[in-house]
């Protein structure tokens, strides 16, 4: 069943956590009714669902980048843009910049342009101008915008959003089984602690590798 993605207001706190975290299903995280395949192979997948226009996604970016840098080697981080109808233009922009190998340059810059400079980057023309400011040829941006590859990625993102039953952003899924968010855990520091525990839980649940003879 398709679900519409809504933004929400959460109080992002930085209260320190002490002691071992005892996860509670229904409070700290939820279990997907149907586990989803991961894109990361042998590595544990942590997937973020986000929207460039979401102020809470933007507020989380700094702490998220720091958390990503300390992920163990057996974990891989994946981003998926949210695909609510009114947010599709930003999802498309994400995949256009990915096709141009420019997301490392544009991801944070696009968040800042929207939330710090209050720019209305909600159509192809405005985003092409933004791309030009980032040193990207607007003609190449427009070509990628209508490309088969980007359309295919968009369709995949829609299917992924539906499969993970995304109802709000930011939302994080761990290994295709579990999901959590700052609103569920009561703040960003608490959420990262929950993610750490879910990663460990998922790793323990992975099938053990067969011993080499």
Which CATH number covers residue 131?
3.40.30.10
* Interval 161-198: pLDDT, tens: 999 999 899 999 999 999 999 999 999 999 999 999 99
Q: How many independent structural domains does the chain possess?
A: 1
3-state helix, strand, coil in the chain (%, to 5): 45, 15, 40
Residue 109 lies in a domain: yes
Q: Is residue 104 part of a domain?
A: yes
Task: State the pLDDT at residue 146.
Answer: 95
Residue 95, domain member (yes or no): yes
pLDDT at 12 over 90: no
Per-residue pLDDT at 207: 82
Q: What residue spans of the chain are helical by DSSP H? A: 55-69, 88-99, 103-115, 124-133, 138-145, 148-163, 182-185, 188-205
pLDDT value of residue 209: 53
User: With bands split at pLDDT 50, 70 and 90, how would you rate the model's confidence at 54?
Assistant: very high
Q: What is the mean pLDDT of residues 129-137?
A: 98
Residue 213 has pLDDT above 50, yes or no: no
| pTM, entire model | 0.87
Q: What is the mean pLDDT of residues 107-128?
A: 98
Domain of 92, in residue numbers: 86-183
pLDDT at 193: 97
pLDDT-based confidence at 86, cuts 50/70/90? Answer: confident
Q: Flag whether pLDDT at 204 surpasses 50.
A: yes
Q: Is residue 143 part of a domain?
A: yes
Angstrom distance (rounded) from CA 95 to CA 109: 15
Is residue 26, in this structure, part of any structural domain at all?
no
Bigger pLDDT: 38 or 2?
38
Q: Is 60 a member of any domain?
A: no
Predicted pLDDT of residue 167: 82
Question: Residue 101 domain-assigned?
Answer: yes
Domain-embedded: residue 190: no
């Amino acid at each position: 069943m398709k679900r519409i993605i809504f933004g929400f207001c959460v109080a992002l706190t930085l209260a320190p956590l002490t002691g071992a975290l005892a996860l509670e299903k229904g409070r700290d995280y939820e279990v997907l009714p149907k586990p989803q395949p991961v894109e990361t192979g042998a590595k544990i997948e942590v997937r973020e669902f986000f929207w460039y226009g979401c102020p809470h996604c933007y507020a989380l970016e700094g702490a998220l980048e720091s958390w990503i840098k300390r992920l163990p080697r057996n974990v891989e981080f994946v981003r998926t843009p949210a695909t609510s109808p009114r947010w599709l233009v930003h999802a498309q922009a994400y995949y256009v910049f990915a096709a141009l190998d420019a997301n490392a340059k544009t991801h944070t810059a696009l968040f800042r342009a929207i939330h710090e400079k209050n720019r209305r980057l909600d159509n192809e023309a405005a985003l092409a101008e933004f791309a030009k400011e980032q040193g990207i040829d607007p003609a190449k941006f427009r070509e990628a915008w209508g490309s088969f590859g980007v359309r295919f990625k968009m369709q995949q993102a829609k299917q992924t959003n539906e499969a993970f039953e995304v109802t709000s952003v930011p939302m994080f899924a761990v290994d295709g089984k579990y999901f959590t968010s700052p609103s569920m855990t009561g703040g960003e520091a608490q959420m990262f602690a929950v993610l750490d525990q879910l990663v460990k839980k998922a790793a323990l649940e992975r099938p053990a590798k067969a011993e080499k003879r």
